[in-house]
A and B are shown apart, each in its own frame.
Chain A
């Protein structure tokens, strides 16, 4: 019994010794850490300034109750055709639609890109059964034409598309189609939206396929044949 008591006593003495050692060494560390707030304090005044500026901007926005607009981006205008060849001076250029179309009679027989034998041949066309002149204006090649025959500028492309795609137009008007940028709160800033042809090629409007780029490396992304992942899956089933 007394041997055990001796051992215990020795153990306790050592514990106390170790505790004293540990207690003294962190005090040095704590003194270190005491210096860090001192080093931080010079930053504090600049922080106060930032807080003031934040409150000022809040006061400004409160004083301006009117809302910012929702800006729908518009196409720059009628498309221009890039010339393949160069002129004698070696310059390339682009021409307006009317450069050619003003001197050529519109051929209403051309319904798809397949029947074109002189110009626009490389064009892919996949937009239902509509024809070129369903949307392009045969009388003025620098503008578009609505179904009722009225001419509409290229910038107003959304008016044209919305004739058929009213469901999408309705969703677009309510923010459920087309995406947006900027502010959700129009009292604090404007909102920017795309137009139809920012995402959809008017001649082949199906949204293009994309390649997945960025992947987080977390446990749910481990390959399925990995043994660890199987363990995880099994334990999930048990739950």
Chain B
């Protein structure tokens, strides 16, 4: 300190005080200080963006499973109002809970599926996916005959189907009984419900995409940008855990259309299938179609060796 004082005060010639203080050192100090402040502001500027995008109520919202019925009603009212504000669509967001005594299971007849992709389109429309990217929870993979290794297939096929030397493997969330995606979630934003459906609380998801990496079926999707859906095309029958329009930066997945299936209806992809390859039902019901298929057809599951125990089956006639 003493040395600096002597340095700066030694020229005792009379001059303006400001000019006297404005030594090179001060200029360097000020420069670094400005740089530091600039860097700091730049570093925390994403927080300001986040504050702009998130309302206080949304920020304070707790985990879906910890919401009281009144809180849920508030949250759903807020989401409906937000959809009206952002998309101009009047929607009703339900809170569909599992039906006691049901465990949903899906089966696809690979002898019949011809890869036309109507299920992909139906999913896209039903679940309010981003129109720009044609997002969908279903991928239909064109497979060489003789293997069930989905990594050997291609999703880029076009034109007339089915091709003679190929078969078609629609892949979506398998609603595993041992879901790797649930295990890796650091914030428990995804979990398996009593009827077997693996759901995501889009308001709790932090968008780390661990689950996307963990899923061996490539079944999860990340919202890279805000989904764009024209108001006229928004499906107004929505559910909190299902097809309500997802915010940007969260992971989403097939929910077996729980906003339909928990109300007794069939999933949208099944209704759209022109070949009748898709079967859906409650495996706990001994008289159900799905039970008969599992007991009487040649049934396969994808990547059985991983031990994920899918609730999704493929069969041949």
A interface residue numbers (CB < 8 A to B): 2-3, 6-7, 10-11, 13-15, 17-19, 21-22, 25-26, 29-30, 33-34, 36-37, 39-40, 43-44, 47-48, 50-51, 54, 167, 171, 174-185, 187-189, 191, 194, 199, 207, 209-218, 220-224, 236
Contacts and interface: CB of A to CB of B under 8 A. Distances in A.
B77 A181 contact: no
B117 A14 contact: no
In the A-B complex, the 3 residue pairs with the smallest Cβ-Cβ separation, listed nearest first, are: A179-B276, A188-B264, A175-B289
Contact of B160 (A2, A26, A209): A209
Nearest to A58: B263
A64 B218 CA distance: 42
Given A29-B52, A184-B281, A214-B120, A209 B161 contact: yes
Contact of B282 (A184, A212, A221): A184
A32 to B, nearest CB: 9
B29 A214 contact: no
A184 B112 CA distance: 20
Contact of B56 (A30, A178, A209, A224): A30
28 contacts: A6-B29, A14-B37, A15-B37, A22-B41, A29-B51, A33-B51, A47-B76, A47-B77, A167-B317, A175-B293, A179-B274, A183-B265, A184-B281, A188-B263, A189-B264, A207-B275, A213-B117, A214-B117, A215-B158, A216-B124, A216-B134, A218-B133, A218-B135, A220-B155, A221-B155, A222-B156, A223-B156, A224-B154
B120 A199 contact: no
Given A17-B37, A36-B55, A176-B109, A209 B162 contact: yes
* A contact face: mostly helix, strand, loop, or mixed: helix
B32 to A, nearest CB: 6
A189 B265 CA distance: 8
B30 to A, nearest CB: 7
Nearest to A13: B33
Contacts, number: 204
Given A3-B4, A189-B265, A221-B156, 14 more contacts: A2-B4, A3-B25, A14-B40, A29-B51, A33-B55, A40-B57, A51-B73, A181-B266, A191-B266, A216-B135, A217-B133, A218-B133, A222-B156, A236-B151
B25, B266, B276, most chain A CB atoms within 10 A: B276
Contacts of B33: 10-11, 13-14
A48 B296 CA distance: 47
Given A11-B33, A212-B116, A216-B136, A174 B292 contact: yes
A194 B280 CA distance: 16
- The interface size bin for chain B is 35 or more
Given A178-B276, A180-B276, A209-B161, A29 B48 contact: yes
A26 B48 contact: yes
B274 A182 contact: no
B81 interface: yes
B124 A214 contact: yes
B46 to A, nearest CB: 12
Contacts of B278: 179
Contacts of B275: 179, 199, 207
Interface string B40-78: 110010011001101111000000000000000110111
B264 A181 contact: no
B48 A40 contact: no
A37 B57 contact: yes
Interface string B153-196: 01111111110000000000000000000000000000000000
A210 B92 contact: no
B51 A26 contact: yes
B272 to A, nearest CB: 9
Contacts of A236: 151
B301 to A, nearest CB: 17
